[in-house]
Amino acid sequence: MKIFAHRGASGNHPENTLKAIQAALEIGVDGIEVDVQSCLDDYVIIHDSWLDRTTNGVGKVHHTNLASIKTLDAGLGQSVPTLQELLQLNNNQTLLNLELKHTFELNKLVKILDLNIANKIISPDNLLISSFDHHQLKWMKQQLPWLKIGALTSSIPLHYAAFAQELNAFSVHVDKDFVNADFVKDAHARGLEIYAYTVDKYEDVKKLHQLDIDGIFSNFPSNTKSFVQFTKL
């Protein structure tokens, strides 16, 4: 079972910051999930569409320029990283799952990804783009056919993982509290990996292992890794 650091190693460090990413790299996770938002003139790594909860700033990320965002404290003196800073810190060390939140002007994002692939900052294998907005995923996949797509859903759609297969996705990502054996079976039959979020408790890790889940997103990847290793899940 793969372990992804959720918002970096966000249980022990400010979420979605370079510190949380660095910690996840040091733990040796299988992948790192972060959230991507558009600001006025760039892409930044932050979960909410508002600055208020995770920084000492206020207002909408999309209405703020990068220079202003960079003056803010995202916790313990960390700044809000840009997408480029994240890609460079990772330097192709592990799989990056970029979850698109309020991301606009996707043609710009496509250019950034393409350039980083060309410059070997990241390889296509180490890049997984996910979103709850399946139209956005469809568009991204049309622009970059090599792109690995992670189709996000909180609950179980009526036609199980058919929506993800239709998107030509690599994986389907589902809320741990909704996932069940039928959904996992259906995803696997369609050739999709299936990952669950957000999983920090041993009981949940065990249950998801029994369900044959391929990976989990954890806020405490170090603890979760020990659960998996010590119990040989």
User: Active site includes 63?
Assistant: no
Are residues 147 and 100 in contact, defined by beta-carbon separation less than 8 angstroms? no
Q: Which is nearer to ligand G3P, 68 or 132 (CB)?
A: 132
Which one of 21-29, 30-38, 62-70, 156-164 is the stretch in contact with Mg ion (CB under 5 A)? 30-38
Query: Which positions from 84 to 113 touch Mg ion by CB under 5 A, shown as an x/- string?
Result: ---------------x--------------
Q: State residue 67 phi and psi, 5-degree precision.
A: -55, -40
Among residue numbers 179 through 218, which ones bind ligand G3P (CB under 6 A)? 197, 217
Tell me which residue of 16, 2, 15, 7 sits closest to 45, measured CA to CA. 16
Tell me which residue of 90, 103, 96, 84 sits closest to 34, measured CA to CA. 96
Q: Three-class SS of residue 112?
A: helix
Applying CB under 6 A, among 23, 24, 27, 33 the residue interacting with ligand G3P is 33
Q: At what angle do helices 134-143 and 106-118 cross, to 10 degrees?
A: 50
CB of 215 to Mg ion, least distance (A): 14
The H-assigned helical ranges of 2-76 are 18-27, 66-69
Q: Which is nearer to Mg ion, 4 or 160 (CB)?
A: 4
Binding flag, residue 15, Mg ion (CB under 5 A): no
User: Active site includes 135?
Assistant: no
Tell me which residues touch ligand G3P (CB under 6 A).
Answer: 6, 33, 35, 47, 99, 130, 152, 173, 197, 217
- Which amino acids are annotated catalytic? 6, 47
